Amino acid sequence: MTAEHSNLAAAQGGATVIPVAVIVNGVTRGATVPARRLLSDFLRHDLRLTGTHVGCEHGVCGACTVLLDGEPVRSCLMFAVQAAGREVTTVEGCGTLAELGPVQQAFADCHGLQCGFCTPGFVTTITAYLRENPTPTEAEAREAISGNLCRCTGYQNIVKSVLRAADLIGEQS
């Protein structure tokens, strides 16, 4: 441990702290955090990006899914230091209030959400999926979302949202 980290650890009650810089939604953001800070907690508590939700804290539900270098990851299973210097896209980076992204617009169009807790994980997962498979079938859409859990819906409108998002992206091309 360096002298700087020793001083930081003393200030944090003995926990080792590390400066972390991550490119989040296209902007370099950073904080000095405990070495064991989860990426989900870093995003929510240190960077105040509360769109990433934490559900099960075991990587099962998918609510905390973000994109790391374009690939979906469970942010509750990663330490923030593992994302240092890499690109993270949260649901906030998938569109804005003024201009929803195509997946967000599709969820609105198709009533793909109810309580909305799981929605950020679905949005990021589907965003990455549609880059790889821009014209999915209904069966492929169901498979794509199978790692994300929603306790409110029967998934029909979420599947419709995937297919609508594919159409919206196709219209933009």
Percent of the chain with pLDDT over 70: 92
Q: In the chain, how many H helices and how many E strands? A: 6, 5
Q: What's the full length of the chain, in residues?
A: 173
Q: What is the pLDDT of residues 116-125, one digit of tens each?
A: 999 999 999 9
CATH 3.10.20.30 intervals, the chain: 3-89
Q: What are phi and psi of 67, to 5 degrees?
A: -100, 125
The first and second tokens of residue 123, run together, are 């949005």
pLDDT at 4: 53
Residue with tokens 């296209």: 26
Report the CATH number of the 94-172 domain. 1.10.150.120
Q: Report CA 2 to chain centroid distance, whole Å.
A: 32
DSSP assignment string, 107-136: HHHTT--SS-SSHHHHHHHHHHHHHH-SS-
The first and second tokens of residue 80, run together, are 């923030």
The first and second tokens of residue 37, run together, are 């800070």
CATH 1.10.150.120 intervals, the chain: 94-172
pTM over cut 0.95: no
Rounded to whole angstroms, the Cα distance separating 157 from 169 reads 18
Q: What is the pLDDT of residues 64-85, one digit of tens each?
A: 999 999 999 999 999 999 999 9
Residue 58 has pLDDT above 80, yes or no: yes
pLDDT at 13: 61
Q: What is the pLDDT of residues 127-165, one digit of tens each?
A: 999 999 999 999 999 999 999 999 998 899 999 999 999
Fold annotation for 3-89: Ubiquitin-like (UB roll) (3.10.20)
What angle, rounded to 10 degrees, do the helices at 102-109 and 156-172 form? 130
List Cα–Cα distances, 142 to 38, 107, 164, 167, in angstroms: 29, 15, 13, 16
